[in-house]
Amino acid sequence: MGDGKMPSKRTGEANEKFKNLTLRFPDAYHRELVLQSSRRGLTLNGLLIDIVYRHLLESGFAPDVIKSLSGRLFEIAIEPIPNELLGYFCSRFDVYENHPLYTKRRAHYVIGVDEDLVEKIDPYGVVKEVGLGLLNFYNRQGLEIDQLAWQTRESDPPSPSPTMKDNWRYIGQSSTRNISEFLIALARNHWKDELVVATGRSQDIRCNLRTERDLYR
C-alpha cells in the first residue's frame, strides 16, 4: 500500500498553463502560512495551491469527489483491471480522504460488471459509471465510503485482485438486467444493496494497514 498518498492533481500536468498572481497578506497571516508550509514539508506556493484546491473540491469543482454527510471529502482514483477471459469488466477504485492535514488512501475496492451488461464500445467507462454511482449511493445513505465491505453471493465470480476478502462488489444479472435502469435506480435511491456492510472503521485501520497516528506522518 505504500504511504497511500493521492497522486497529485494540484500542480497539473507538465503542459498545463499557469497564471502568476500577486497576493497581499497581513504579516501575521504570512508568518502563519510559512510555519504551516514548513510543518507539512511544502513550499509556501505549494501550501496555497493545496488550500485553493481543497476549496474547489468543496465547491464541486472535481467530478470524482464525494463529500460525506459528516463533511469529509473523498477523492476517487479509478484504474481499469485488464482481463480477457473472466466474463466481466472491472476496475480498482481507490478512496483518498482529503483532510486539511493529509491526503491519503483510506480504502480501495474492486468493482466488476458482467460483460453481458456492458456496452463493448467503452466497457471500462461503464464500470466507472457504475462504481461512482454505487459510492455516491452509499454516501447518500449516510455510509462513510472508506468504511464499506461486501458479502458475496455463491454465484459471484471471485475477485481478480483478492488482496483482501471483502472489498469486491460484482454487479451481475442477479443485481440488474439493464445497466441504464440500474444507474437510474441508484441516482433515485430506488435500490437496496443486501450485500453491503457498514464496518464503522476505515478500511486502512480495520485491516491494520496503518494506525491513526500514521495518517499525520
The model's pLDDT over 56-72, given as tens digits with 9 standing for 90+, comes to 655 545 556 898 999 99
**What gap in Å lies between CA 207 and CA 194, rounded to an integer?**
23
For residue 151, pLDDT beyond 50: yes
- Asked if residue 14 belongs to a domain, the reply is no
Same domain, 46 and 74: no
Same domain, 51 and 158: no
Please classify residue 17 by burial: count the beta carbons closer than 10 Å to its beta carbon, then call 0-12 exposed, 13-18 middle and 19+ buried.
Answer: exposed
Q: Indicate the residue among 6, 39, 58 that finishes a domain.
A: 58
Angle CA 82–83–85, to nearest 5: 170
- Asked if residue 5 belongs to a domain, the reply is no
71: left (phi over 0), alpha (psi -120 to 50) or beta: left
The predicted pLDDT at position 74 comes to: 94
The predicted pLDDT at position 61 comes to: 54
Q: Indicate the residue among 37, 58, 79 that finishes a domain.
A: 58
Same domain, 111 and 164: yes
- Asked if residue 152 belongs to a domain, the reply is yes
The residues, ordered by sequence, that sit 6+ positions from 32 with a Cβ below 8 Å of its Cβ are none
- Asked if residue 22 belongs to a domain, the reply is no
pTM assigned to the model:
0.75
The residues, ordered by sequence, that sit 6+ positions from 137 with a Cβ below 8 Å of its Cβ are 186, 187, 189, 191, 193
Same domain, 54 and 147: no
The runs of H, that is alpha helices, within the chain are 27-39, 44-58, 123-140, 179-187, 203-206
3-class DSSP assignment, residue 50: helix
The stretch 102-108 carries a mean pLDDT of: 93
The predicted pLDDT at position 46 comes to: 82
Domain count, the chain: 2
Same domain, 89 and 180: yes
- Asked if residue 101 belongs to a domain, the reply is yes
Long-range contacts of residues 118-122, Cβ cutoff 8 Å, at least 24 apart: 118/88, 118/89, 118/179, 119/179
- Asked if residue 155 belongs to a domain, the reply is yes
The predicted pLDDT at position 217 comes to: 83
The predicted pLDDT at position 200 comes to: 96
- Asked if residue 170 belongs to a domain, the reply is yes
Which residue segment(s) compose the domain that 105 sits in?
A: 65-216
